[in-house]
Chain A
Amino acid sequence: SDELIQPPSVSVSPGQTASITCSGDKLDHKYTCWYQQKPGQSPVLVIYEDTERPSGIPERFSGSKSGNTATLSISGTQAMDEADYFCQAWDSSAGVFGTGTKVTVL
């Protein structure tokens, strides 16, 4: 299956670490991107190739992968990080998105 499964929601207190997982078959053989999307806005790339951070993305965003599960971590979470987050994995020029996770900063 090409499905990428994410938890529907994650809640985090300001200043704490939010962790969002993305699980899928054969993910260990693919690279994962992560996108942040705020309401009414276009997605923004925050992590690519599992662990790389584009220029301009704060250091508090980091990515990792273990086996078939990729993880996006947001350390020292701020109110501005409240958004939907989507993982994406590429396979032979086809990109599949995860189901999406809503991060709420309480």
Chain B
Amino acid sequence: QVQLVQSGAEVKKPGASVKVSCKASNYTFTSYGISWVRQAPGQGLEWMGWISAYNGHTNYAQKIQGRVTMTTDTSTRTAYMELRSLRSDDTAVYYCARGAWGGRSWRNDYWGQGTPVIVSS
């Protein structure tokens, strides 16, 4: 079955960077996209952006544009999300999710287990 396995929890100081990985298996990696979504403690889901694993095209949420970079490595079937200049309000669980085109719209049909990122001095 489709699996997305994310890297482990991170603790970072304000101003630092974090890079979270998401390794995909059991599907054709380049036929789908990867979305990144975060959830602050006790809060809702926040869409961060999306990358096509086919051609590397990206689309980032305006709120974090300039601080985020999403990439993929097709040789290892792994997606990465790097967030820079971390602030305390970046503390959240970060999820990757497979982006599938259903013929009329996108959907995130499989999700990773989540990576907690804590930003604290």
Contact = CB atoms under 8 A, between A and B. Distances in A.
B73 interface: no
A96 B47 contact: yes
Contact of B102 (A48, A98, A100): A48
Nearest to A92: B59
B54 to A, nearest CB: 13
A78 to B, nearest CB: 22
Interface residues on A, range: 20 to 34
Interface stretch (B11-19, B76-84, B111-119): B111-119
B114 A42 contact: yes
B108 A42 contact: no
Interface residues of B, number: 23
B64 interface: no
Contact of A90 (B45, B97, B106, B113): B106
A17 B50 CA distance: 34
Contacts of A43: 37, 45, 95, 97, 108, 111
A43 B104 CA distance: 22
A77 to B, nearest CB: 22
A101 to B, nearest CB: 10
Interface stretch (A18-26, A27-35, A67-75): A27-35
Most chain A C-beta atoms within 10 Å of own C-beta, residue among B35, B46, B61, B106: B106
B44 interface: yes
Contacts of B102: 48-49, 52
